[in-house]
């Protein structure tokens, strides 16, 4: 790589999305450069805190990569198989299963494997390179600037830049002002999250607190305001335990309870709260035992492309708005971004229009349900523990709740639901609010089912989407306690 050199595609960020984008596009014979700030032995590390993640991914997303790239995964990168994910009510009396069979990953191993695949596919990889921003000419991204480990400045050109820099991306944030991609994200749409990886001993068996076959999610607004805590089993006697919070919800909870908790004290309290775990010892392999980072939990950017620019993964705010699962979307988007960037180059049109099919493909593969899920997330964040307990017991069946986490609008037999004996004005209000949220999910799913085939119809699409989301935000305010 030399200063001023030109590539077909520059992939910024060698995380999940970036490495699959690089592999996919390099396989079509494109000249691909992948840049990342990490040293090679720590590829995929998100921050100085490590590969901070809950590590859980649905099996279907791993299968997607296998199907598309013909690569298989096993031990050590698929660290442990789980039957599914259970979400438990605050009082632990109700649990809903969702997501089906999945894995907890060994992320350092998983990313090392993806790097091998990207390199074998022909991508050039440069580590210890800090991407600092996009080069923009005539309203088009034509490359990136940044510096290597010796602090030498580089300007590198490409027909297309793929932004896979994760949630803190300096590329999306520095795009020219444009109607397609928002440069910033509302703070209420970001979860502050953190976790430990521990070795532990089981104090006593209690499947509400630790389940060797399933990933557990604890909905509890006192422990994790506006988010949830999790205990995910890893291989041997290890667990990944952590939580995520919404800042506004945390502030409200602290003010109401007269507390001064922050993310770290909440995580530590959550670990202590769990009676099934004892003799916890930090498992600090790769210095990856403890860390915190942000997860964006809104719908993905309404457009994922700009002239000469394509985004994939957390840089495009792709994690599932309800579960915050971003591994699957990053894997899917990385592959589709690589495919579409290559196709646009082959077709000699790297404008928004030429890249548009990526929007349509991602929408179809994963994205079309996320706006609806975002409304449901906003609704959930307006419920305190009492309503959550009651609601999880009475409002939804297991099937209906599971559908919602997949963005599927449940077939609520509303008439019969209303005949149920709902106790208390707050609960009745929460139920009618849930019906409102589900109806807006339906509206958004219908709008996304007709995602614009070309950029010309985008403005009215985006207007309709943002109007519904803004209405939901006005109606449902964070109310954790």
Determine which residue in the list 330, 344, 380, 444 makes contact with ligand FAD, applying CB under 6 A: 330
Compute the distance between CA of residue 157 and CA of residue 164 in angstroms, rounded to an integer: 17
Report, in angstroms and rounded to the nearest whole number, the Rg of the chain calculated over CA atoms.
Answer: 22
Compare residues 173 and 417 and give the one whose CB is closer to ligand FAD: 173
Contact string 267-296 vs ligand FAD (x = CB under 6 A):
--------------------------x-x-
What's the closest the beta carbon of residue 330 comes to ligand FAD, in angstroms? 4
Any contact of residue 44 with ligand FAD (CB under 6 A)? yes
Any contact of residue 365 with ligand FAD (CB under 6 A)? no
Compare residues 161 and 430 and give the one whose CB is closer to ligand FAD: 161
Determine which residue in the list 24, 25, 28, 38 makes contact with ligand FAD, applying CB under 6 A: 38
End-to-end C-alpha distance for the chain, whole angstroms: 55
Helices 458-475 + 425-449 axis angle, to 10: 170
Determine which residue in the list 50, 308, 321, 325 makes contact with ligand FAD, applying CB under 6 A: 325
Compute the distance between CA of residue 14 and CA of residue 127 in angstroms, rounded to an integer: 9
What's the closest the beta carbon of residue 75 comes to ligand FAD, in angstroms? 19
Compute the distance between CA of residue 387 and CA of residue 293 in angstroms, rounded to an integer: 29
Compute the distance between CA of residue 55 and CA of residue 217 in angstroms, rounded to an integer: 13
Compute the distance between CA of residue 293 and CA of residue 168 in angstroms, rounded to an integer: 10
Any contact of residue 62 with ligand FAD (CB under 6 A)? no
Helix or strand holding residue 443 (H, E)? helix 425-449
The alpha carbon of residue 14 and the mean position of all alpha carbons in its chain are separated, in whole angstroms, by 16
Q: Is 116 exposed, middle or buried (0-12, 13-18, 19+ CB in 10 A)?
A: middle
Q: Which residues make Cβ contacts (< 8 Å) with residue 276, sequence separation at least 6?
A: 202, 203, 204, 205, 206, 209, 210
What's the closest the beta carbon of residue 435 comes to ligand FAD, in angstroms? 29
Residues for the chain: how many in total? 481
From the list 24-32, 67-75, 87-95, 192-200, the region that binds ligand FAD by CB under 6 A is 192-200
Any contact of residue 166 with ligand FAD (CB under 6 A)? yes
Compute the distance between CA of residue 351 and CA of residue 359 in angstroms, rounded to an integer: 13
From the list 12-20, 137-145, 200-208, 464-472, the region that binds ligand FAD by CB under 6 A is 12-20
Binding to ligand FAD in span 121-160, by CB under 6 A: 130-131
Compute the distance between CA of residue 324 and CA of residue 195 in angstroms, rounded to an integer: 14
Any contact of residue 117 with ligand FAD (CB under 6 A)? no
**Shortest CA distance to 53 belongs to which of 241, 329, 270?**
241
What's the closest the beta carbon of residue 433 comes to ligand FAD, in angstroms? 28
Compare residues 39 and 93 and give the one whose CB is closer to ligand FAD: 39
Any contact of residue 225 with ligand FAD (CB under 6 A)? no
Any contact of residue 17 with ligand FAD (CB under 6 A)? yes
From the list 324-332, 405-413, 414-422, 468-476, the region that binds ligand FAD by CB under 6 A is 324-332
Q: List contacts with ligand FAD (CB under 6 A).
A: 13-18, 35-38, 44-46, 52-57, 130-131, 164-166, 168, 170, 193-195, 242, 293, 295, 313-314, 319, 324-328, 330
């Amino acid at each position: 790589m030399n200063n001023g050199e030109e590539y077909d595609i520059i992939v910024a960020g060698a995380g999940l999305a970036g490495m699959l984008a690089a592999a996919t596009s390099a396989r079509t014979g494109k000249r691909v450069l992948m840049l990342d700030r990490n040293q090679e032995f720590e590829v995929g590390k998100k921050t100085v805190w490590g590969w901070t993640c809950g590590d859980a991914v649905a099996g279907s997303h791993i299968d997607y990569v296998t199907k598309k790239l013909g690569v298989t995964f096993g031990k050590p990168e698929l660290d442990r198989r789980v039957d599914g994910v259970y979400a438990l009510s605050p009082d632990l009396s109700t649990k809903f299963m969702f997501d089906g069979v999945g894995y907890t990953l060994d992320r350092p191993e998983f990313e090392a494997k993806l790097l091998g695949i990207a390199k074998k596919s022909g991508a050039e990889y440069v580590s210890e390179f800090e991407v600092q921003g996009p080069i923009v000419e005539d309203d088009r991204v034509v490359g990136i600037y940044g510096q290597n480990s010796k602090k030498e400045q580089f300007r590198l050109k490409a027909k297309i830049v793929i932004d896979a820099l994760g949630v803190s991306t300096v590329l999306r944030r520095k795009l020219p002002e444009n109607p397609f991609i928002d440069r910033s994200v509302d703070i209420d749409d970001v979860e502050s999250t953190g976790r430990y990886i521990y070795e532990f001993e089981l104090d006593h068996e209690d499947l509400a607190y630790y389940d060797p076959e399933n990933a557990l999610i604890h909905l509890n607004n006192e422990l994790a305001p506006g988010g949830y805590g999790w205990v995910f089993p890893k291989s041997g006697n290890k667990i990944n335990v952590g939580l995520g919070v919404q800042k506004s919800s945390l502030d409200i909870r602290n003010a109401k309870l007269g507390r001064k908790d922050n993310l770290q004290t909440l995580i530590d309290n959550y670990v202590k709260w769990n009676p099934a775990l004892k003799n916890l010892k930090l498992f600090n392999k790769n210095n990856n035992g403890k860390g915190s980072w942000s997860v964006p939990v809104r719908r993905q950017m309404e457009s994922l492309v700009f002239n000469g620019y394509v985004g994939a993964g957390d840089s495009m705010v792709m994690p599932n708005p309800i579960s915050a699962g971003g591994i699957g979307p990053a894997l899917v988007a990385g592959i589709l971004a690589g495919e579409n960037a290559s196709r646009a180059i082959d077709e000699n049109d790297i404008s928004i229009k030429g890249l548009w099919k990526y929007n349509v493909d991602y929408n179809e593969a994963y994205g079309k349900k996320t706006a609806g899920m975002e409304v449901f997330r906003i609704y959930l964040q307006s419920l305190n523990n009492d309503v959550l307990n009651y609601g999880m017991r009475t409002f939804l069946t297991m099937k209906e709740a599971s559908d919602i986490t997949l963005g599927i609008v449940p077939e609520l037999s509303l008439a019969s639901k209303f005949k149920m004996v709902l106790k208390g004005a707050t609960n009745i209000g929460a139920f009618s609010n849930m019906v409102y949220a589900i109806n807006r999910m339906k509206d958004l799913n219908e709008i996304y089912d007709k995602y614009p085939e070309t950029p010309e119809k985008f403005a009215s699409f985006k207007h309709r989407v943002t109007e519904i989301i803004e209405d939901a935000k006005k109606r449902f305010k964070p109310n954790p306690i």
